[in-house]
Structure 1
Amino acid sequence: MSAPFRFPRFFVTTPSPCPYLPGRTERKVFTELSGPHASELNDALGRIGFRRSQSVAYRPSCQGCSACVSIRVVADDFAPNATQRRLMRRHADLVVTACKPWTTEEQFDLLRRYLGARHPGGGMADMDEFDFADMVEQTPVKSFVIEYREPSGEDGRPGRLIGACLTDQQGDGLSMIYSFFEPDHAERHGLGTYIILDHIRRAAAAKLPYVYLGYWVDGSARMQYKTRFRPVERLTAAGWQRFDPPEPSPVPAGREPLPSKEVPIG
């Protein structure tokens, strides 16, 4: 006989500087994901705007501010725009593999290059191999590292790793926990966008209705890329609803929009 489901205990972090909006503070509410019902709890919390970090589910709980909005792409109804179609053709030769959530030295080296170029001095800048292993491997739910490699060489060896994403498979979709990619690859412009496009394709093929992109912050320029994937839904007091935010400005050639820094609570 299985143990009865226990309602989780929630905790609140102390206020700290907001990483998205200058001059504001952030606070998170969180709970532990553990035991035989961790996946079910993660699914339920994901539907009400929580994100996972290792064995913790969290969401913003800031006093006097509700700028962080949970968003998800409707995979079946997604229609790529002209720029996204070009990126899909450009990167169609990449070898994509869903790997078990175990870290490799190659993944960590790619992460270090990415953080050094895109987030120097950020919250993850001092991450070492053990921190990276904890981020990927300490998962109580069904998770993968999706790897993106250049085509194999003539010798048959695997091509160079140029992108990766830690991804959870939830009951109703894929949740992109953290993605990173080769930051200065002149021939592979748009890798970050392509990784999201590939997740939308994967979700639709698996008959999973959504791809969860985390939080969108109106007013934070580096978060606007998330609204380029339409149709998109946001979580409101009345539940998930489609919305049509203004189209973000085009990305200049050679510049990829910066992903949000959804770092572990610690």
Structure 2
Amino acid sequence: MRHTLPIAPQFYVTAPQPCPYLAGRMERKLFTALQGEGAERLNDTLSKQGFRRSQNVLYRPSCADCSACMSARIRVADFAPSKSQKRTRRRNAHLTRKATSPWATEDQYELFRRYLDSRHADGGMADMDVFEFAAMIEETPIRTRVVEYSDAETDDLAAVCLTDVLDDGVSLVYSFYDPDRARDSLGTYIILDHIEIAREAGLPFVYLGYWVPGSRKMGYKAKFRGLELYVGNRWEKMRNPADYSSELHPLNTDPIAEQVANISLPGARPAKG
């Protein structure tokens, strides 16, 4: 009988391009394809090592002389809402949640366009058309849900979050909301509700993407209690945000070959660190 050995994922690095978080810097990403029968296990394993999913690709920052971007997650058991977050929950108590399969709709795209035009008109997704939007929502080889939040009285769509279900938590892949409801803090509310989703499912973590010291657009993540950051190949409880630096240093980032060698794959022993 012939046995086929599993094929290890291949890792690549993108060409440098302007950083979307810190002005005047260049970013590059380490990435691998997410496909085949082992896609879910690979996604679960690499998500615990600071990777994020975009359609059928897993990536994490690998900038030449900057390590400011740190993967962030909330440990659900350690979370307690602040007074401001309690007010946000009360302010949005009229919203209803509906989780569906990853299928794009016209209502979602209309809300997505309004959100981009209002908040990210010059961002990398500003030119995304309806077909690219559908691909972002629907091209997923793993367990993914579209979580919609609608006004209980008007049934108007207020917010949407593309959410992956991992073996140890939920991961917020991308969210957008009604820009006319800025005072409702819908971005914060989506995270608060996903903490409840994880708690209801018995999952210990909510993955938020990256936190970047020095980036105003990422500052809101530091306001959640129970936050952990992936630093030096391990998760640590977030210290005072001021303790983390976004300064450039040529020794901040390990060589690519060393980064890849330290990645733990499904079924392998954990990486050092």
- Corresponding letter in the other structure for 1:54: Q
Aligned partners of 2:36, 2:4: CA distance in 1, in Å?
Answer: 10
What is the match of residue 262 of structure 1? none
SS of match in other structure, 2:90: helix
TM-score by length of 1: 0.87
- Corresponding letter in the other structure for 1:200: I
CA 190–3 in structure 1, closer or farther in 2 if over 3 Å, else same: farther
What is the match of residue 236 of structure 2? 241
Higher RCO (CA 8 Å, separation ≥ 6 residues): 2
Q: Mean alpha-carbon deviation: is it higher for 83-92 or for 27-36?
A: 83-92
CA deviation after TM superposition for structure 1 residue 54, in Å: 0.3
What is the match of residue 252 of structure 2? none
Identity %: 53
What is the match of residue 89 of structure 1? 90
Q: Is the CA contact (8 Å cut-off) linking 2:31 and 2:59 kept in structure 1?
A: yes
Aligned partners of 2:184, 2:13: CA distance in 1, in Å?
Answer: 40
1:141 aligns with 2:142: yes
Provide, for residues 78-129 of structure 1, a one-character-per-residue CA deviation record: whole Å limited to 9, x for no partner: 1000010111112122110111100000000000000000001211111111
CA deviation after TM superposition for structure 1 residue 75, in Å: 1.1
Q: Mean alpha-carbon deviation: is it higher for 177-186 or for 192-201?
A: 177-186
- Aligned pairs (5 A) from 1:70-81: 70-81=71-82
1:166 maps to which of 155, 162, 167:
162
What is the match of residue 176 of structure 1? 172
CA deviation after TM superposition for structure 1 residue 185, in Å: 2.3
What is the match of residue 257 of structure 1? none
1:206 aligns with 2:195: no
Q: Is the CA contact (8 Å cut-off) linking 1:5 and 1:37 kept in structure 2?
A: no
CA 85–27 in structure 1, closer or farther in 2 if over 3 Å, else same: same
1:222 aligns with 2:225: no
- Corresponding letter in the other structure for 1:62: C
Provide, for residues 184-241 of structure 1, a one-character-per-residue CA deviation record: whole Å limited to 9, x for no partner: 126x611111001000111111111000111111011111101111111011225111
1:231 maps to which of 226, 229, 240:
226
What is the match of residue 54 of structure 1? 55
Please report the RMSD computed on the Cα atoms of aligned residues, expressed in angstroms.
Answer: 1.6
CA deviation after TM superposition for structure 1 residue 4, in Å: 4.4
CA 179–3 in structure 1, closer or farther in 2 if over 3 Å, else same: farther
SS of match in other structure, 1:107: helix
SS of match in other structure, 2:158: strand
SS of match in other structure, 1:185: helix
SS of match in other structure, 1:57: strand
TM-score by length of 2: 0.85
Structure 2: unaligned runs, 5 residues or longer: 243-273
Aligned partners of 1:52, 1:4: CA distance in 2, in Å?
Answer: 25
Q: Is the CA contact (8 Å cut-off) linking 1:217 and 1:223 kept in structure 2?
A: yes
- Corresponding letter in the other structure for 1:97: K
Q: Is the CA contact (8 Å cut-off) linking 2:92 and 2:184 kept in structure 1?
A: no
Q: Which has the higher helix share?
A: 2
SS of match in other structure, 1:198: helix
SS of match in other structure, 1:30: strand
Aligned partners of 2:50, 2:115: CA distance in 1, in Å?
Answer: 27
The number of residue pairs the alignment matches comes to 241
CA 142–245 in structure 1, closer or farther in 2 if over 3 Å, else same: same
Q: Is the CA contact (8 Å cut-off) linking 1:141 and 1:168 kept in structure 2?
A: yes
Aligned partners of 2:90, 2:19: CA distance in 1, in Å?
Answer: 38
SS of match in other structure, 2:123: coil
SS of match in other structure, 2:65: coil
Aligned partners of 2:3, 2:52: CA distance in 1, in Å?
Answer: 27
